[in-house]
């Protein structure tokens, strides 16, 4: 037997319903907030991610699926979507049409991480990116949008964590203060953090190793080092969220796993998924468009981790799978031919239809109809064909009705329609 690749998974029909609900809710809300869909390739040049995410991040150092083409060009399965959206914004000159672009995209991301619950090598994100707007209103609105999304899906127990990472004007001073502390605490840091200390000190704040966390218990906080502009921006975001009564917690340790963030950074966390506690994350990246060769345009975005969100929802409630409105049980070749035509016609009319064409016994077909939860069963054999009427059996009430074969689809249609549908015609 050939098995699937480690860290990659199958999403089976009993979960797919919840995935669809998550995606539909997100798309509806994003469109209401003025976002348009963009569809992007999953394969990009490796350089795109090296330059945007940052060379000394976990993703670029060890998690990317990168391979050479026959010509020796390095390609990467995208580990995240922001870099690709920015690439398209620049390459397709979307900014020339209107620098303000609000884009969303859904799809798989790939990271070679250690697979565990809530952490897969192919996982799915819902991404939103807003270009060309500097106002703190957009920062607040992105967070408000996320919050509303989770509310619509009735996901309980979430917290918004927020921080400001400053800008190139104020971050160096903070880095200096942090590096000073890291030098003092060297002996308490894990091997990863010792490496980060020299190459990317901010990332040490994100380390989950308890001894590192303890060593940095009183690390300086970026929000105490913000320049006047960044400070004003951050305070406005917080005050907008307060007015909308969105519960948030300022987390001075929140630095996010990618280098391109500036100013507002945020995460939506849950207590209900163990160590994998972030269900969405995002932030501002005002320098990235220019750094990748585009015009100087500010931007902000977020990514929702759909796998973890679906897991949270399934913990709450496992929705019953879809059931057939009608199951057609024919006996004999002539009846099967009729069943074939009726099943096509009823499906086209929008009824979830199932028919058995395998010439099985009535008992076997009724057993299957019952097992898959069919609401009604249409029974047709030689006898019914001769009499010109078939039997429609309601599987719940066990009531049976005789339906004339002449104009059968119309008769069944009327019987299957729910009362509300009949009223509206
Ligand atoms: P984490 O700290 O949990 O590793 P991250 O900072 O690496 O998250 P982001 O790059 O911000 O994650 O991606 C946004 C969201 O995508 C995360 O909040 C999470 O829900 C989800 N996510 C990230 N990596 C994975 C993964 N390997 N498997 C499943 N979901 C993931
Ligand atoms: Mg990660």
Ligand 2 centroid distance, CA of 257 (Å): 6
For the chain, domain boundaries: 13-170+226-316, 326-421
User: In the prediction, which pLDDT does 418 show?
Assistant: 60
Instruction: State in Å: Cα 278 to ligand 1 middle.
Output: 7
Q: Is 280 in the pocket of ligand 1 (CB under 6 A)?
A: yes
Give the whole-angstrom CA distance, residue 83 versus residue 288: 9
How many A from CA of 184 to the centre of ligand 2?
27
Using the atom order of ligand 1, give the atom closest to the CA of residue 302.
14
Please determine, for residue 225, whether its predicted confidence score (pLDDT) is greater than 70.
yes
CA of 210 to the centre of ligand 2 (A): 17
Question: Average of pLDDT values for 275-297?
Answer: 95
The response to whether residue 120 sits with its C-beta less than 6 Å from ligand 1 reads yes
Tell the residue nearest (CA) to atom 19 of ligand 1.
Answer: 305
The alpha carbon of 208 and the centre of ligand 1 are apart by a number of angstroms equal to: 14
Q: Shortest CA distance to 225 belongs to which of 161, 178, 258, 259?
A: 178
pLDDT band at 392 (very low <50, low <70, confident <90, very high): very high
Lowest mean pLDDT, pick from 224-238, 254-268, 297-311? 254-268
Q: Is 234 in the pocket of ligand 1 (CB under 6 A)?
A: no
Q: Above pLDDT 70, what percent of the chain?
A: 98
Which ligand is in closest contact with the Cα of 120?
A: 1
282 lines ligand 1 (CB under 6 A): no
**Winning range, highest mean pLDDT, from 126-135, 154-163, 175-184, 205-214:** 126-135
Give bridge partners of residue 264 from the DSSP assignment: 164
- Under the banding of pLDDT at 50, 70 and 90, the label for residue 306 is very high
Using one digit for the tens of pLDDT, what is the confidence trace for 404-422?
999 999 999 998 886 544 4
Comparing 321 with 17, the larger pLDDT belongs to 17
CATH superfamily of 326-421: Anticodon-binding domain (3.40.50.800)
Q: How far is the CA of 330 from the centre of ligand 1 (A)?
A: 50
Ligand 1 in reach of 80 Cβ (< 6 A): yes
Q: What is the average pLDDT score of the chain? A: 94
- pLDDT at position 324: 96
Least confident range of 198-212, 366-380, 382-396: 198-212
**What is the band of 82 on the pLDDT scale with cuts at 50, 70, 90?**
very high
Look at residue 220 and tell me whether its pLDDT is greater than 80.
yes
pLDDT of residue 424: 40
Structure tokens at 425: 């015609």
The answer, yes or no, to whether any atom of ligand 1 lies below 6 A from the CB of 307, is yes
Q: Is the CB of 112 under 6 A from ligand 1?
A: no
Ligand nearest to the CA of 256: 1
Segment 273-283, tens digit of pLDDT? 887 889 999 99
Q: Is the pLDDT of residue 78 over 70?
A: yes
Check pocket membership of 125 for ligand 1, CB cut-off 6 A.
Answer: yes
Architecture per CATH, domain 13-170+226-316, reads as 2-Layer Sandwich (3.30)
What's the pLDDT at 276? 80
**Ligand 1 atom index nearest CA of 111:** 27
Check if 160 has its Cβ closer than 6 Å to any atom of ligand 1.
no
Probe residue for ligand 1, chosen from 253, 281, 284, 301 as the CB with the greatest number of ligand atoms within 8 Å: 281
Q: 111 CA distance to ligand 2 centroid (A)?
A: 9
What value does the mean pLDDT take over residues 326-341?
A: 97
Give the model confidence (pLDDT) of 25-75 as tens digits.
999 999 999 999 999 999 999 999 999 998 888 899 999 999 999 999 999
The alpha carbon dihedral of 330, 334, 338, 340 has a sign of: positive
Query: Model's pTM, two decimal places?
Result: 0.92
Q: If you average pLDDT over residues 257-270, what whole number do you get?
A: 91
pLDDT value at position 208?
84
Mean pLDDT of 363-374: 97
């Amino acid at each position: 037997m050939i098995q699937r690749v480690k860290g990659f998974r199958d999403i089976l029909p009993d979960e797919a319903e919840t995935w669809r609900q998550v995606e539909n809710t997100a798309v509806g809300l994003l469109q209401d907030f003025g976002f348009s869909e963009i569809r992007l390739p999953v394969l990009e040049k490796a350089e795109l991610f090296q330059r945007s995410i940052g060379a000394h991040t976990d993703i670029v150092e060890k998690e990317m699926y990168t391979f050479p083409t026959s010509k020796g060009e390095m390609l990467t399965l995208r580990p995240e979507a922001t870099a690709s959206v920015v690439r398209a914004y620049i390459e397709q000159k979307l900014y020339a049409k209107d620098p303000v672009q609000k884009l969303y995209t859904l799809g798989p991301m790939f990271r070679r991480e250690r697979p565990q619950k809530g952490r897969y090598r192919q996982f799915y994100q819902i991404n939103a990116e807003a270009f060309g707007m500097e106002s703190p209103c957009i920062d607040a609105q992105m967070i408000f949008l996320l919050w509303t999304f989770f509310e619509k899906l009735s996901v309980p127990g979430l917290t918004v964590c927020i921080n400001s990472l400053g800008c190139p004007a104020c971050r160096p001073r903070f880095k200096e203060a942090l590096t000073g502390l890291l030098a003092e605490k060297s002996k308490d840091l894990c091997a990863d953090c010792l490496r980060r200390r020299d190459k990317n000190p901010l990332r040490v704040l994100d380390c989950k190793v308890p001894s590192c966390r303890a060593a940095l218990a009183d690390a300086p906080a970026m929000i105490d080092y913000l320049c006047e502009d960044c400070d004003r921006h951050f305070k406005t975001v917080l005050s907008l969220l307060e007015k909308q009564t969105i519960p948030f917690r300022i987390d001075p340790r929140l630095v996010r796993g990618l280098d391109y963030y500036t100013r507002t950074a945020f995460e939506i966390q849950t207590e209900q998924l163990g160590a994998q506690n972030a269900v969405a994350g995002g932030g501002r990246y005002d320098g990235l468009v220019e750094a990748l060769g585009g015009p100087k345009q500010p931007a902000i975005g977020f990514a929702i981790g759909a796998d973890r969100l679906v897991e949270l929802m399934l913990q709450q409630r496992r929705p019953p799978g879809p059931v057939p409105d009608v199951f057609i049980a024919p006996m004999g070749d002539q009846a099967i031919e009729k069943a074939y035509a009726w099943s096509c016609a009823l499906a086209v009319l929008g009824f979830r239809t199932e028919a058995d064409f395998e010439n099985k016994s009535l008992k076997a077909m009724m057993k299957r109809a019952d097992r898959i939860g069919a609401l009604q069963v249409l029974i047709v054999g030689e006898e019914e064909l001769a009499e010109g009427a078939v039997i429609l059996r309601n599987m719940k009430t066990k009531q049976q009705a005789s339906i004339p074969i002449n104009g059968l689809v119309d008769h069944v249609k009327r019987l299957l329609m729910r009362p509300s549908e009949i009223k509206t015609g």
